[in-house]
């Protein structure tokens, strides 16, 4: 089974410090019901998709795939690789667990896929 058509997407060239670059990973043999869910601190149900950096914002799970927005912080130029991690439901395993320091985190025993995108950041001209 292939969860996504591509686990790495090429975003192309952007200018340093620009905002609102959309990235999309299309489902292959997967659907959004396969992705684990949890209830956030505000009582809202969320999909278990973990940002791996603060510059990836507004992650949305749709019927077709996962959409994310990349906001460049302007601190680096050149080729960058950014990632998000998707956790899947597995039986009765909880989506979140406390680690040995008592911090709530995604359950490392859940199956997961790391998605990524490549972006070439060019300096302001």
Return the closest-CA partner of residue 22 out of 79, 73, 61, 70.
70
Rounded Cα distance between 68 and 20, Å, is 9
Rounded Cα distance between 101 and 70, Å, is 31
Q: What is the reported pLDDT for 2?
A: 75
Q: What is the reported pLDDT for 1?
A: 58
CATH of the domain at 96: 2.60.40
Rounded Cα distance between 118 and 81, Å, is 5
| pLDDT over 90 percentage in the chain | 82
Q: What is the reported pLDDT for 56?
A: 80
Rounded to two decimals, what is the model's pTM?
0.90
In a domain, 1, yes or no: no
β-pair partners for 13? 120
Q: How many CB atoms lie within 10 A of CB 73?
A: 12
In a domain, 3, yes or no: no
Instruction: Please give the tally of structural domains in the chain.
Output: 1
In a domain, 17, yes or no: yes
Q: What is the reported pLDDT for 123?
A: 86
Task: Point out the residues of the chain with pLDDT beneath 70.
Answer: 1, 124-125
Task: Please state, in angstroms and as integers, the Cα–Cα distance from residue 10 to each residue in 26, 91, 94, following that order.
Answer: 13, 34, 33
In a domain, 2, yes or no: no
Structural domain span for residue 53: 8-120
In a domain, 84, yes or no: yes
């Amino acid at each position: 089974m292939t969860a996504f058509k591509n686990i790495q997407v090429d975003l192309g060239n952007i200018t340093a410090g620009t905002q609102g670059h959309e990235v999309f990973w299309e489902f292959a043999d997967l659907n959004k019901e396969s992705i684990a869910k949890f209830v956030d601190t505000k009582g809202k149900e969320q999909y278990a998709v973990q940002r791996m950096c603060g510059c990836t914002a507004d992650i949305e799970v749709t019927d077709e795939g996962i959409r994310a927005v990349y906001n460049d912080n302007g601190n680096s130029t050149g080729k960058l690789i950014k990632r998000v991690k998707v956790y899947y439901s597995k039986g009765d395993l909880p989506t979140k667990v406390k680690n040995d320091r008592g911090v709530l985190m995604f359950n490392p025993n859940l199956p997961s896929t790391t998605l990524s995108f490549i972006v070439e950041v060019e300096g302001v001209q």
